Amino acid sequence: MKILITGSSGMLGSDLVDILSRRHEVVTSGSLDIRDLEGVMELLRETRPDAVVHAAAFTDVDCAETERDTAYQVNVLGTRNIAAAASDVGSSILYISTDYVFDGEKGEGYLEFDEPNPINFYGKTKYLGEVSVRELSEMFYIVRTSWLFGRNGRNFVRTMVELAERGHEISVVDDQYGSPTYTRDLAAAIGDLLERPAYGVYHLTNSGQCSWYEFAIDIFNELDMEVCLKPVKSHEFPRPARRPSFSVLRNYNWSMEGFKALRNYRDALRDYLKDAGFVK
């Protein structure tokens, strides 16, 4: 297939380019501003991809609370533009969404058909992006994922290691739960999904779940580092955007389609630490 990837310089996008190009022809949106509808339409009409993987997004959850117009323009209008252009040229579209479309009140893993109810502005814009994709495309995949870590970009793992190397006492919330997900594993799974016209909504994460505090413990155990780590509650660590307390995603549709479950996040973490050079 010929696959167009937006956000190709990002943490997930860079792995998508690397992995998908081994099996398909890959083109990227380059420096195109996805808020430019005419520019998006021109690019899609020139490249005529079979599929578009839309990974470009405004992803700073806290900044989205104050930079609402920009977050809306990128995540809602930009996604609308990509979906409209993909429909115009007959391309399927795979949209990367988030666990933050849920409020975290369910108390158990979310299924694809559970009702979204985002509690921060970032989550609201990503959900509205989903709505645009559903309304404008008949050949869509919506892939919700969570707690990404990867080689190219800032992420929780890298932040924890850097803080530990500076000798800081590290406070980490222990009352928010999710499923850490390695971007290379996610990219490979997306590649498998694109090769089947099994359109719909998917939750795609590495297996297993933990709190941020437990994830930090896993990181330092793998690195054999002694760190002063302090568990705190969310209200003790206030941030501009509220986070859902339990946003674990059950990969239900993925398993119903017969795909193999992604490996446990601890195994993925071990490989990431080697790939990123933290383990010599």
* Separation between Cα atoms, residue 186 and residue 206, nearest integer Å: 8
Q: Report how far residue 66's alpha carbon sits from residue 88's, in angstroms, rounded to the nearest whole number.
A: 34
Buried b (16+ CB within 10 A) or exposed e, 35-63: eeeeebbebbeebebbbbbbbbbbbebeb
Q: Which residue has the tokens 């290691």?
A: 161
Q: 122 an active-site residue?
A: yes
Distance between the two ends of the chain, CA-based, in angstroms?
37
DSSP letters spanning 184-234: HHHHHHHHHHHTS---EEEE---B--EEHHHHHHHHHHHHT----EEEE-G
Print the SS3 string covering 28-49. ECCCCCCCCHHHHHHHHHHHCC
**Catalytic residue (choose from 95, 122, 127, 265):** 122
**Within 13 Å, how many C-alpha atoms sit on residue 268's CB side?**
27
Residue reference for tokens 């941020």: 212
54 by DSSP, 3-state: which?
Answer: strand
Active site residues: 122
